[in-house]
Structure 1
Amino acid sequence: MPRSPLTLAALSTAAVPGLDARSVRSEEVPGDYDVAVVTAADGTEWEVRAPRSTMAGAALEAETELLEALHLYHEAGVLPFAVPRTAGSAPLPEGGRAVVHKHLSGTALDIESLTPGPGLAADIGRTLAAVHELPVSVVESCGLPSYTAEEYRERRLVELDEAAATGRVPTALLRRWEAALEDVALWRFRPVVVHGDLAADQVLVTGSRVAAVTGWSDARVADPADDLAWLLVAAPPEAVDSIMEAYQLRRTELQDPRLVDRALLVGELALARWLLHGVRHHLDDVVEDAVAMLTDLDEATREDDTA
């Protein structure tokens, strides 16, 4: 049973000495967690997160360790944005712990409003490049996943096979995706530290700068295209060039001529993963949504091929 906001507020006061909670609101975040934002008497907002399962608890421990390392890189000026930093924790009756950190300031990225030039679009490119330039040991030392390029391509193939088995993916899309996944040249990349689950509400901005990045529970050593895919798909086309130019300038040894092609493919494959999510959890509305988007993509790619 999900924990109530009041229960989470009590956990926050136990975790952070002197925290005088005055109000609390629940917060929706990805993952198997109960989350709330607590406002203290001095107006400071604190975020408390408690895992709902043993697996989520283990992931939270690894993420907490990673965030401490990322904070040090931020303090050293290597990362140009803030990350959550644990201020305290409280044990849970069933085992594990709830963690608390200050609620980071900034507004969620409005990706559709991005414009070309040296402003926010370019800063997003630099932000992702800074993450991808981190030493892979930052992630590996926390026990988070690490993949070679070939292992990651094989993971994508397994996902595609599962999606094909549902019978819901258009045949032409499957053929095109299979050809891309069999194109070994497309998958020659150097694995890097990736956030792994970037979305607009995890990129907090202030003016024309990225102020903070949250939601690091899916961080891993993998394909840099994973972090770029959502931007290339969702950002206005005229802003994409600014994102990629700033990204490439910030990377020191980027030798990945097929990066953009792979990122666009990863963006398409996200629809297959959305379909699988709906099928695995028996969510009919999610399955219908995924099938509709797959149909639209199939029609769009057919039109591109005949243009």
Structure 2
Amino acid sequence: MQTEANNQTSIAQLAAQHGLGLIPETITINEIGLDFRVAIATAHNGERWVLRIPRRSDVMPRATIEGRLLQRVAPLLDVTVPDWRIHSSELIAYPLLPGEPGLSIGLDGSLDWHVDVEDPTYTHSLGEFLAQLHSIDHRQVADTGIEIRTPDEVRQAIADDITRVSSEFQVAASLLDRWNTWLADDGFWPATSALTHGEVYPGHLLLTDQKIVGVLDWTTAAIGDPAQDFAFHRVLVSDEAFAATVQRYIEHGGNVGPKFAEHCAELYSISPINYGIYALTTGDPAHVRAAAAALNPEA
């Protein structure tokens, strides 16, 4: 088992191989990420850097797409996004962005909140950011390699994922009934697709005085259902705070359907399906066991 000092030394050596000189003693490591180890360190010139180290080779093709997308969206957004100065099969690194994550996760899994998700400054800035993101012309990012799906294709993909996971895991009947009812109701589903981040939650948002100033981790970005970017927010905040975010979104050009809030909640409810797909993809026994428990909580 590697000690912290050994981890720091190995990361500093990896960075040096890519032309980045780090002070090993300044390196702090976050092991929580499923696809990447993340470290923050100070370079010899005093600049702070973020390093993403892949856990598996299969994550890098998606990372290549993410890197291309970041270059396209950076000048189109008022928030900052990572500027990848180093991108290889072994390391991604970029200067630390301003702001503080709204949520951090301790090594023991504890949650440390750094944002008041009910604060109007936060809810308004979230609505403004999502309106701006979702307004980006698809043609400006389509050739980056991100997944592009029509509303019908998004819906079918969810149905296909449920079918795949159900063939490999025991899924609670109550969950299957809920999801099938949702999928069959045309009133939930959007008429148009939008460029989405895919995992908008406080851990990926950088804030200053409760206002979003930066957005991290665009790995799951796609052209698809705009409600995806509201799903976590829907279950995290009160009805009033959610309505305030949606109202700000609409005021800045966003469009929502009549069952938007309910649709966002249903998108969040399939998190066990998404985790099941991840577990099947990685084949990791620990993830397979955790996914099985999430998919059949009644067992």
Q: TM-score, normalised by structure 2?
A: 0.82
Question: SS of 1:86's equivalent?
Answer: coil
Q: Output the CA distance in 2 between the equivalents of 1:177 and 1:217.
A: 25
Q: Deviations over 1:73-102 (max 9, x none)?
A: 2xxxxx22110102234x5xxxx3523201
Superposition RMSD on alpha carbons, in Å?
2.9
Q: Distance in 1 between matches of 2:57 and 2:289?
A: 28
Query: Once structures 1 and 2 are overlaid, which stretch shifts more, 186-195 or 2-11?
Result: 2-11
Sort the Cα spacing of 1:200 and 1:188 in 2 relative to 1 into closer, same or farther, 3 A.
closer
The equivalent residue for 1:157 is: 159
Alignment match, 1:200? 202
- The corresponding residue for 1:57 is 60
Contact 1:9–1:48 (8 Å) recurs in 2: no
DSSP-derived class of the 2:149 partner: coil
Q: 1:35 aligns with which of 31, 35, 38?
A: 38
Q: What is the SS of the residue equivalent to 1:211?
A: strand
Deviations 1:266-290 (A, max 9, x none): 0111133335545653326524651
| Distance across 1 between alignment mates of 2:291 and 2:61 | 29
Deviation at 1:16, TM superposition (A): 4.8
Question: 1:87 is matched by which residue type in structure 2?
Answer: R
- Alpha-carbon contact 1:148-1:191 (below 8 Å) kept: yes
> Of residues 228, 251, 254 in structure 2, which corresponds to 1:249?
251
- Using the TM superposition, name which of 145-154 and 175-184 deviates more: 175-184
**Of residues 115, 120, 135 in structure 1, which corresponds to 2:118?**
115
Q: Is the 8 A contact 2:38 2:50 kept in 1?
A: yes
Quickly say closer, same or farther: Cα 1:200–1:181, change in 2 above 3 A: same
Matches within 5 A, 1:1-307: 4-16=7-19, 19-22=21-24, 23-28=26-31, 30-73=33-76, 79-89=77-87, 96-109=89-102, 110=113, 113-115=116-118, 117=120, 119-165=121-167, 168-251=170-253, 254=255, 256-278=257-279, 281-283=284-286, 286-287=290-291, 289-291=293-295, 294-295=297-298
In the TM superposition, residue 217 of structure 1 has moved relative to its aligned partner by 1.1
Aligned counterparts of 2:274 and 2:93: Cα–Cα separation in 1: 31
After superposition, the C-alpha distances for 1:215-249 in whole angstroms (9 at most, x for unaligned) are 00111111111111000011233311211111121
Which residue identity does 1:104 align to in structure 2?
A: L
The 2-side partners of 1:5 and 1:133 are apart by 42
Q: Does the CA contact (< 8 Å) of 2:115 and 2:210 recur in 1?
A: no
* Local SS of the residue matching 1:9: helix
Partner AA of 1:139 in structure 2: V
Post-superposition offset of 1:154: 0.8
Aligned counterparts of 1:60 and 1:278: Cα–Cα separation in 2: 19
> What is the CA distance between 1:116 and its match in structure 2?
5.3
* CA–CA distance in structure 2, aligned partners of residues 210 and 122 of structure 1: 9
1:67 partner amino acid: L
Q: Deviations over 1:42-75 (max 9, x none)?
A: 54210122334443222222111111122222xx
- More off after superposition, 165-174 vs 202-211: 165-174
Q: Which amino acid aligns with 1:124?
A: L
Shift of 1:167: 5.8
State how far apart, in whole Å, the 2-side matches of 1:244 and 1:139 are.
25
Q: Distance in 1 between matches of 2:114 and 2:289?
A: 25
Contact 1:13 1:21 in 2 (8 A): no
| 1:304 paired residue number | none
Cα distance change of structure 1 residues 291 and 217 upon mapping to structure 2, 3 Å threshold: closer
Equivalent position SS for 2:257 = coil
Number of aligned pairs? 282
CA distance in 1, matches of 2:165, 2:222: 23
CA shift for structure 1 position 29:
5.7
* Alignment check: 8 A CA contact 1:112 1:234 kept: no
Q: Unpaired segments of 5 or more residues in structure 1?
A: 74-78, 297-307
Partner of 2:108: none
8 Å Cα contact 1:114-1:236 kept in structure 2: no
Verify the 8 A CA contact 1:8 1:35 in the aligned structure 2: no
- 2:110 maps to none
Amino acid at match of 2:284: H
Name the CA distance, whole Å, in 2 between partners of 1:111 and 1:166: 38
CA contact (8 A) 1:106 1:211 kept: yes
Residues 255/266 of structure 1: CA separation in 2 closer, same or farther (3 Å cut): closer
Does the Cα contact within 8 Å between 2:169 and 2:292 map onto a contact in 1? no
Residue type of the alignment partner of 2:95: K
Percent identity at matched positions? 20
